[in-house]
Amino acid sequence: MTMAQTLIPEYDQETANTRKVLERVPDDKFDWKAHPKSHTMGWVANHLAEGVGWIEGIVNYDNWDVNPPGGPKYQSPDLRSTREVLASFDSAVVAGRKALQAVSDADFQKEWALLDNGKPIISMPRAAMVRIYGINHLIHHRAFLCSYLRLNNIPVPGMYGPSGDE
């Protein structure tokens, strides 16, 4: 069994769980925030949709420069409806899974770097990047979104069994 084959079931479960949470975000709550220093509910939903898309880039490229010399700085998406967020998320999930199915163990071991203006911010083996900044990062921000749902009396879906709302 390859490294990717051991990771794909986790990827499938966590992306399915994340989708269930994203489905609950009401369009009229995109600008809601828990605290002045917090991101909005819409920002978190957008971040989940974009973050799962990073997996394809981590697998298929050697690095990503968020502020490339002479090029445009990376801009996070600003989708304004749950329908748009889900469409973006679903597309990224399919692309990420396809990339994971195709990556070899040798390529998973190669170093990958996140750059800013050509300078490394983070560098580690591709497999670690997928796990930490692909899957774990997704779970981390999904937890914020679950808290936001709870604070707005929106039922939180069960993910590892029923939730308190089910």
Instruction: Render pLDDT for 118-148 as a digit per residue (tens, 0 to 9).
Output: 999 999 999 999 999 999 999 999 999 999 9
Question: What is the assigned CATH class of domain 3-31+38-151?
Answer: mainly alpha
pLDDT digits (tens, 9 = 90+) for 2-19: 999 999 999 999 999 999
CB 154 within 8 A of CB 27: no
pTM score: 0.95
* Residues paired with 122 in a beta bridge: 114
Burial class (CB in 10 A: 0-12, 13-18, 19+), 5: exposed
